Amino acid sequence: MKERIVVLGGGISGYGSAILAKKAGKDVFLSDMGKISDIYRHRLEEWGVEFEEGGHTEDKILNATTIIKSPGIPDSAPIVVAAKKIGIPIISEMEFTAKYIKGSKTICITGSNGKTTTTSLIYKILSDAGYNVALGGNIGESFAYSAATGNYDWYVLELSSFQLDGMFDFKANIAVLMNITPDHLDRYNYSFQNYIDSKMRIIRNQKSCDCFIYSADDSVITAEVYRRDIASRQLPFMAHAAVASGAGDAFLSDNTFIARVGKKSVEIDTTKMQIKGLHNAYDAMAAALAALAAGVSPEQIATSIYDFSPVEHRLEPVAEVDGVLYINDSKATNVDSVWYALQSMTRPVVWIAGGTDKGNDYSPLFDFAKDKVHTLICMGLDNNKLERDFAGIIPNIISTCSLDEAMRSAVAAAKSGDAVLLSPACASFDLFKNYCQRGELFKSWVNDNLKK
């Protein structure tokens, strides 16, 4: 009897998992509560995968041998609760795909912030070096689809906590942990420790031949490293701490960092990088350590880092109009991301924030907000918390409930020499499909209404 695989969710993670399962000869069924996009539906049909959309048929799901759950579906979803109640194993795309990439190696990147830039940079370095490498996880193509349709030596994967939660036997050959700050607490019973434990799953199953790259400046991570028995080689990176490791490390001093793994090292002048700010120096240090651990030459690492341009939706300059610089930082969906954004601002700021609050504590932003922000434009269906928390800190606070209203308010408030910064600190789901759509609409509004 064939193993029956049921895939919940028909997005990029789900369709790829279904196709890999079909290729592996499994009995496959995919179910999505919403509408499946045309491109994914076409591929499912092409591979002969049975699927449904617009709802879940329980008797077609609860007879599964294994369920592969897309990361956007919470454990509290009724169909997930029902499956757990009868003991059906529920895993992630990553866990399932790992069985089909024997001989290949993985570099897995997670963290509350910085993971997209770091993942993209690692992928670029390996790609530039001629490695047979695929990009997947939260960005790029589906990990499962890449495994089904290609034969790669390396997979560079950006992993969210939700993806890590569904990983049990999976092992990262090179694990990268950028930072841990409160995020998605609504999915973790509002327990920061639960979220920390989820992120630390990045080192699950690692052995002495594997590498663990982490920020030694992050007190949460260093506390976890201290209390855990970690088998893998530790490669810390830092700008403030002083943590030496015999296996290697990276340290930033006076705009220069040296990353070392074993006997190989690379020196990077951060003033020559196209991506600016302390947060991007951290990203580059982590990427350099990962690339050295993967065997890339120091010369190639330096060339690729200097050539790397900013990631879309992360402190992305859009245009300067009438002396006002418009910056798209839509990917900043938590407080820590906004901290780095405000920290990097050298102009007076009109800050656009708001959306779906995830249990945010805005207090870490107060000092930068007081020093750098003269106007806060709240953009969301419920702005009460932002208005209340920044009252008396930012002199001008304006509440809006649409992008158009927010942008017109920002333009009216901005003066020549200012920056209008979209850095929401919140999820996008009250007004937008996702942070990408929010960023795209911000850029389109600037280009359509302001550029002459």
Residues 6 or more apart in contact with residue 229 via CB below 8 angstroms: none
Specify the pLDDT at position 184. 66
Domains in the chain, CATH or no CATH each:
4-91 (3.40.50.720), 96-307 (3.40.1190.10), 316-449 (3.90.190.20)
Task: Residue 334: count other Cβ atoms within 10 Å of its Cβ.
Answer: 21
Specify the pLDDT at position 183. 66
- For the whole model, what pTM was predicted? 0.77
Specify the pLDDT at position 219. 93
Specify the pLDDT at position 452. 61
Structure tokens at 224: 């976890």
Sign of the torsion formed by the C-alpha atoms of 330, 331, 336 and 340 = negative
Query: Which among 307, 278, 279, 305 has a CA at the least distance from the CA of 291?
Result: 305
DSSP reduced 3-state for 60: helix
The residue ranges of the chain whose pLDDT is under 70 are: 1, 183-184, 452
Specify the pLDDT at position 372. 95
DSSP reduced 3-state for 66: strand
What is 189-258 written as a DSSP string?
A: TT-HHHHHHHHGGGGTT--TTSEEEEETT-HHHHHHHHHS---SEEEEEESS-----SSEEEEEETTEEE
Cα–Cα separations (whole angstroms), residue 149 to 23, 138, 146, 438 = 9, 18, 5, 32
Question: Do residues 153 and 191 make contact, with C-beta atoms less than 8 angstroms apart?
Answer: no
* Cα 21 to Cα 144: distance, rounded to the nearest angstrom: 9
Specify the pLDDT at position 1. 65
Helices (H), 71-114: 78-85, 93-98
Phi, psi of 95 (to 5 degrees): -60, -45
* Cα 146 to Cα 16: distance, rounded to the nearest angstrom: 8
Per-residue model confidence as pLDDT tens digits over 306-327: 999 877 788 888 989 999 999 9
Cα–Cα separations (whole angstroms), residue 269 to 273, 274, 306, 418 = 7, 11, 9, 28
Displacement of CA 296 from its chain's centroid (Å): 24
DSSP reduced 3-state for 370: helix
Question: Do residues 216 and 237 make contact, with C-beta atoms less than 8 angstroms apart?
Answer: yes
Phi, psi of 139 (to 5 degrees): -130, 170
Per-residue model confidence as pLDDT tens digits over 253-276: 999 999 999 999 999 999 999 888
Task: Residue 35: count other Cβ atoms within 10 Å of its Cβ.
Answer: 10
Cα–Cα separations (whole angstroms), residue 297 to 124, 126, 128, 211, 249 = 14, 10, 11, 17, 16
* Cα 100 to Cα 84: distance, rounded to the nearest angstrom: 25
Residue 413, Cβ density class (10 Å: 0-12 exposed, 13-18 middle, ≥19 buried): middle
Residue 208, Cβ density class (10 Å: 0-12 exposed, 13-18 middle, ≥19 buried): exposed
